[in-house]
Structure 1
Amino acid sequence: MTTTFTNPVLPGDRPDPAIIRVGDEYWMTYSSFEASPGLLLYRSRDLVTWTYVTAALPEPLGSTFAVDIAEHDGRFFIYIPFIPAPWSELTEPSIYVIHADSMAGPWSTPIDLGIRGAIDPGHVVDEDGRRWLFVSGIRRIALSDDGLSTTGELQHVYDGWRYPDEWVTEAYALEGPKLFRRGAWFYLVSAVGGTGGPPTGHMVIVARSRSVDGPWENHPRNPIARTTDAAQKWWSRGHATLVPGPGAPPDDDDWWMVSHGYENGYRTLGRQILLEPVRWSADGWPDGAVDDPGGELVAPAGAGAQHPSPSFTDDFSDLRLGERWAFHAPGPDEAARLRVDDGLVVDGKGSSPADASPLAILAGHHSYEVEVDVELEGDVQAGLLLFFNSRLFCGMGIDGERMLSFSGGIRTHWREPVPPTRRIALRLRNDRHIVIGWYRVAGGEWTRHGVRYETSGYHANTVGDLLSLRPALYSAGSGSARFRDFRYTAL
């Protein structure tokens, strides 16, 4: 019986996937941006089913953009571009590296490579055993033998492939270099067209050379992956890594492409991870084997059945930071705000959801419901949100005197008739972008909030931030809030 799968293989906002095969296993992480912990590592044996293992970056130094994972002489490296954020001390994009004896960690603290003004590192070892880092542009810089420092300066090495001017894209944006060697050729996989904007913008291009020094020859059939029509299920396909299939040697024809894309009609979920087969042609070039990865696809050899992401409950007795929860826009030692004591106690921060560094989870379903019990301690406001970023969120909270209602990233003028209380149960349902709220005071029945929200516009193209709409808990002020019995239910 043929095993099939459908995309995404890992739902929710997991952009810029970086993947490495280690023995019989694959390891993957992705851009974590303003989340802490960051760089969540997942493991798989079949490219379809992925299991969380650890967070490689407990405290990011800035917004964490697209990384690359490398193995060299039995040691593992993750090359990381950090981007300045209001909460970080960085003043310009800077590339760092962390390293470990095992992909499962523990991982080192970040080491500054001194590379400024570049993103999207890609590691490669050349034909003479020298190590290089390629970056956006496409430029490269030599690495030391241990991979923990650079030698020389960045130099431009590749101009990219130019698509027809009539194609509707966001911008040219040559980025995301991923390099590998197969036979006598080095292959350079890049992204162009811009990751947001029009659905037909992002794409995957390939070049090759017999030397890392070039010259780089463009694939005669570029791009090898692209959304060609806004009617397709997956938009803005790009930022790809190519790997041999399970058990296949590099010179075998069984290869797969891991990339990201927005789901048609659900940009609010962010860029999700896509898997599709690669076909090696007689002329030695990799080609996408399907025009549209939006349907049912034959799974890699030996893959098990695909299982949907489950609903879950969380009593917070086991705080699953990274695996489940992450702070948005964290300050130093953000986790010190948390303690487990008859639920999850979150110390207040800031004055509203906008500057409170909410604790959020990823959502991967078109429709879902979240529910939590909230109790105030001291001078604080707290509640339940659907949170995109500090400028765009909706939901509700209490401050002990009244209910606070939020929409479009601001507190609204709506006065919900909730009696003064310091403890309340809150529920939000996102039903294909229509958000409905309920609340229940102790001993009472569920009451529907008087206002419904439409959130299809809560996405990257609205506010120019490459994030997603996430269920979140917030606690703002000088007191603290106790959260109990959180529930996430797929509908």
Structure 2
Amino acid sequence: MPGDHPDPTVIKIGDTYWASATSAEWGAVFPLFSSKNLLDWELVGHVFPDKLPDWAGSNFWAPEFYQENGRTYIYYTARKKGGMLCVAVASADHPAGPYHDHGPLVGQEAGSIDGFAIPDEHGDLYLIWKEDGNSCYQETPIWAQRLNDERTALIGEATELFTNDVRWEGPLVEGSALVRHNGWFYMFYAGNSCCGKGCQYATGVARSRALLGPWEKYAQNPILDSNDTWKCPGHGTVTELDGRWFLLHHAYFKQSHEFVGRQGLLSEFTWNAEGWPEFVRRSPQAPPLTDLGRLHVADEFEGSRLGLEWQWPINQQPATAVANGQLHLSAEPSRLGAVVARRTHTATYKAATTLDFAALPADTFAGLAAVGDPYNALALMAGNGQLQVWHLKSGKQQCLTSIFVEPCATLTLRLEVWGGQRYRFAYSTDGATWQPIPTESFAVNGTYLPPWDRGVRLALVAQGEAEATATFHNFILRNQR
């Protein structure tokens, strides 16, 4: 799953595999993918495509499927508005939705994350989750508690299964995913720091005859660790195909690391003579992407609505209309304005868009931006007869350069980036001849863009009064090495 897809989960229902992943602070929330072979995935929808659950405000992390009696459940993490991280649940009559949210199940003072549902040895369904103690410099117990018959509330008492007490685990254990094999419960879990330049994530495993323990951690942990291609592999879910066992997990590609984010990988494992899972060379064997062309984007805005791949900052879904090969994006006045974005797949690429320049209302700016989050971006913006390069850092906007452009009906904007760090901008009035945008240095530094847990997006943006609209004719993204 190339691009920013952390904490992936997978389940087989009938003859179809279903997958999802963390969406964090980007909507739509929790993508839904389907596949027949674990390799070719189609994005078919989202758990929360438009409206967020009323109780939740941010941190939409770690969805996990559970299926029972024809009903599909998603146990997920989100932050209560003004409060703590919670594990919650939504359900649907079909894996593709629509999903009905049932609200939070548990929210401890330190926070509760990474819920996973599994029946115990007696057939009673339990929720497994992590207490987020590392957020307040405490240990991170993994808990288990029984679910009610409706699978929408916890009953009885919670039982602690284990915590981070081995050196490699560092400040935490999290991301539990369980499977039962040959009379054992196996818990694949992640340890140490997950994200960003200094990540040290790896995957361990523990096992127990009974779900509530006692649990034994494998002496050879971590069983999945970094190599020269992939960094910080962890937080995955186990699945089978034709008798072969796989973990769908995330990792950073070394060459792009935090600029693209944590990507979904499928790693095969076998069971050794002692009954423990083993990965070849204890590291992901997925090769680097070679066919980058299949990930190129050329969106001409056909049809009547934006494609499912487009995203926006949660709680800031902009008003859009697609018609006659054009995207009409209603402006917003704050910071960068209205944003619709796509994931990136490499740290070196070119992106372009053509917009109606002459038709832009006064004091409305529209353009192309590399976006870490709504507070950190680099943008090439057109408006008021000008082109401007905007530097948005920690919510503070600065115009790095501004030039006047001869009147023209449409304007094509181009953004180029090398290694996620060096940005250069250009424009064209005819779509063929390019004029560079002068800046103080050859390239603008974008090292600051990625948040600790997310990759950079490429976005179309519109800033201005709410009644103003910007019109885009296309969006093109070309990946490079």
Q: Which shifted more, 340-349 or 12-21?
A: 340-349
Please, what is the CA RMSD of the aligned residues? Answer: 2.6
What is the alpha-carbon distance in structure 2 between the residues aligned to residue 200 and residue 312 of structure 1?
A: 30
Alignment of 1:57 with 2:86, yes or no, is no
Distance of aligned partners of 1:458 and 1:262 in 2 relative to their CA distance in 1, 3 Å threshold: farther
What is the alpha-carbon distance in structure 2 between the residues aligned to residue 98 and residue 257 of structure 1?
A: 24
Distance of aligned partners of 1:422 and 1:327 in 2 relative to their CA distance in 1, 3 Å threshold: farther
Alignment of 1:204 with 2:203, yes or no, is yes
CA contact (8 A) 1:188 1:206 kept: yes
Paired residue for 2:245? Answer: 255
Structure 2 counterparts to residues 384-395 of structure 1, below 5 A: 384-395=368-379
Q: Which shifted more, 20-29 or 108-117?
A: 108-117
Alignment of 1:69 with 2:65, yes or no, is yes
- Higher RCO structure, 1 or 2 (CA under 8 Å, sep 6+): 1
What is the alpha-carbon distance in structure 1 between the residues aligned to residue 339 and residue 229 of structure 2?
A: 31
Deviations 1:27-74 (A, max 9, x none): 111000111111111122222222212112113342311121111222
Paired residue for 1:129? Answer: 123
What is the alpha-carbon distance in structure 2 between the residues aligned to residue 262 and residue 445 of structure 1?
A: 37
Paired residue for 1:484? Answer: 473
Say which of 141, 146, 151 aligns to 1:142.
146
Deviations 1:439-472 (A, max 9, x none): 1236994211113435562465xx5x31111110
Letter in 2 for 1:358: V
Paired residue for 1:103? Answer: 95
Q: What is the CA distance between 1:200 and its match in structure 2? A: 6.2
Distance of aligned partners of 1:105 and 1:413 in 2 relative to their CA distance in 1, 3 Å threshold: closer
Say which of 413, 416, 423 aligns to 2:403.
416
Say which of 323, 337, 344 aligns to 1:363.
344
Letter in 2 for 1:482: T
Q: What SS is found at the alignment partner of 2:162? A: coil
- Kindly, what percent of the aligned residue pairs are identical? 25
Paired residue for 1:7? Answer: none
What is the alpha-carbon distance in structure 2 between the residues aligned to residue 392 and residue 11 of structure 1?
A: 23
What is the alpha-carbon distance in structure 2 between the residues aligned to residue 15 and residue 212 of structure 1?
A: 26
Structure 2 counterparts to residues 89-100 of structure 1, below 5 A: 89-100=81-92
Q: Structure 2: give runs of 5+ residues left out of the alignment.
A: 131-140
What is the alpha-carbon distance in structure 1 between the residues aligned to residue 382 and residue 291 of structure 2?
A: 41
Paired residue for 2:11? Answer: 20
Alignment of 1:188 with 2:194, yes or no, is no
What is the alpha-carbon distance in structure 1 between the residues aligned to residue 431 and residue 312 of structure 2?
A: 32
What is the alpha-carbon distance in structure 1 between the residues aligned to residue 59 and residue 200 of structure 2?
A: 24
Q: What is the CA distance between 1:144 and its match in structure 2? A: 0.8
Paired residue for 2:138? Answer: none
Structure 2 counterparts to residues 219-258 of structure 1, below 5 A: 219-227=218-226, 232-244=228-240, 246-248=241-243, 254-258=244-248
Alignment of 1:158 with 2:162, yes or no, is yes
What is the alpha-carbon distance in structure 2 between the residues aligned to residue 20 and residue 307 of structure 1?
A: 27
CA contact (8 A) 1:329 1:357 kept: no
Q: What SS is found at the alignment partner of 2:238? A: strand
Distance of aligned partners of 1:439 and 1:308 in 2 relative to their CA distance in 1, 3 Å threshold: closer
Distance of aligned partners of 1:413 and 1:198 in 2 relative to their CA distance in 1, 3 Å threshold: closer
Q: Which shifted more, 38-47 or 307-316?
A: 307-316
Q: What SS is found at the alignment partner of 1:290? A: helix
Say which of 365, 368, 373 aligns to 1:381.
365
Q: What is the CA distance between 1:475 and its match in structure 2? A: 1.2
What is the alpha-carbon distance in structure 1 between the residues aligned to residue 76 and residue 86 of structure 2?
A: 8
TM-score (norm 2): 0.86
Q: What is the CA distance between 1:477 and its match in structure 2? A: 1.9
What is the alpha-carbon distance in structure 2 between the residues aligned to residue 295 and residue 212 of structure 1?
A: 32
Structure 2 counterparts to residues 428-439 of structure 1, below 5 A: 428-433=415-420, 434-439=422-427
Say which of 387, 401, 408 aligns to 1:403.
387
Letter in 2 for 1:236: C
What is the alpha-carbon distance in structure 2 between the residues aligned to residue 399 and residue 456 of structure 1?
A: 23
CA contact (8 A) 2:331 2:338 kept: no
Distance of aligned partners of 1:315 and 1:239 in 2 relative to their CA distance in 1, 3 Å threshold: same
TM-score (norm 1): 0.84
Letter in 1 for 2:333: G
Say which of 314, 335, 345 aligns to 2:299.
314
Paired residue for 1:251? Answer: none
Letter in 1 for 2:39: V
Structure 2 counterparts to residues 163-182 of structure 1, below 5 A: 163-164=167-168, 171-182=170-181
Distance of aligned partners of 1:469 and 1:319 in 2 relative to their CA distance in 1, 3 Å threshold: farther
Q: What is the CA distance between 1:423 and its match in structure 2? A: 4.8
Letter in 2 for 1:211: A
What is the alpha-carbon distance in structure 1 between the residues aligned to residue 392 and residue 327 of structure 2?
A: 27
Q: What is the CA distance between 1:101 and its match in structure 2? A: 1.9
Letter in 2 for 1:20: I
CA contact (8 A) 2:26 2:312 kept: yes
CA contact (8 A) 2:175 2:189 kept: yes
Q: What SS is found at the alignment partner of 1:309? A: helix
Deviations 1:184-236 (A, max 9, x none): 11111111111025656101111111111111111121111112x6xx11111
Q: What is the CA distance between 1:424 and its match in structure 2? A: 2.4
Distance of aligned partners of 1:453 and 1:306 in 2 relative to their CA distance in 1, 3 Å threshold: closer
Letter in 2 for 1:208: R
Q: Structure 1: give runs of 5+ residues left out of the alignment.
A: 1-9, 249-253, 298-304
CA contact (8 A) 2:335 2:375 kept: no
Distance of aligned partners of 1:422 and 1:411 in 2 relative to their CA distance in 1, 3 Å threshold: farther
Paired residue for 1:37? Answer: 28
Distance of aligned partners of 1:424 and 1:220 in 2 relative to their CA distance in 1, 3 Å threshold: same
Q: What is the CA distance between 1:77 and its match in structure 2? A: 0.6
CA contact (8 A) 2:371 2:456 kept: yes
